[in-house]
Amino acid sequence: MKRLVNQVNLLMEEELINANRKFPKFRSTHEGYAIIKEEVEEAADEMESIDSWLEQGWRYIKANQNAIDEIVAMKQHAINLAAESIQVAAMCQKFIDSKLSEVNK
């Protein structure tokens, strides 16, 4: 798990670098909050999709039917959730960096 967390941190830093290339630091705490909230909502949507596919798959499994399509869909939404979570972490770091740059002025 520690190795995976380290890899996620590297991906978060890469995402932060890309975001900083495209957009300046947050101009206000309100802007930072809004961006983080949007990313959190996107992550929540992916989690809801995972839950939905899990429920459907369980119905099929209980009926001794094939649930492979549901499991494939869950896998993709889990990957999407991981990516959204990395974006949440990157935007949190951007918020922290934006505030720290104000303090250090």
For residue range 11-29, what is the model confidence (pLDDT) as tens digits? 999 999 999 999 989 999 9
Contacts of residue 104, Cβ cutoff 8 Å, sequence gap at least 6: none
Number of domains in the chain: 1
Nearest CA-CA partner of 95 in 39, 45, 48, 27: 27
Confidence label for 105 from pLDDT (cuts 50, 70 and 90): low
pLDDT digit string (tens) for 60-92?
999 999 999 999 999 999 999 999 999 999 999
- What pLDDT is recorded for position 77? 98
pLDDT at 104 over 90: no
- Domain extent, residue 26, equals 2-103
pLDDT at 43 over 60: yes
pTM of the entire structure?
A: 0.89
- What pLDDT is recorded for position 62? 97
Report in angstroms the alpha-carbon separations of 58 from 7, 64, 80, 83, 105. Answer: 32, 10, 21, 25, 56
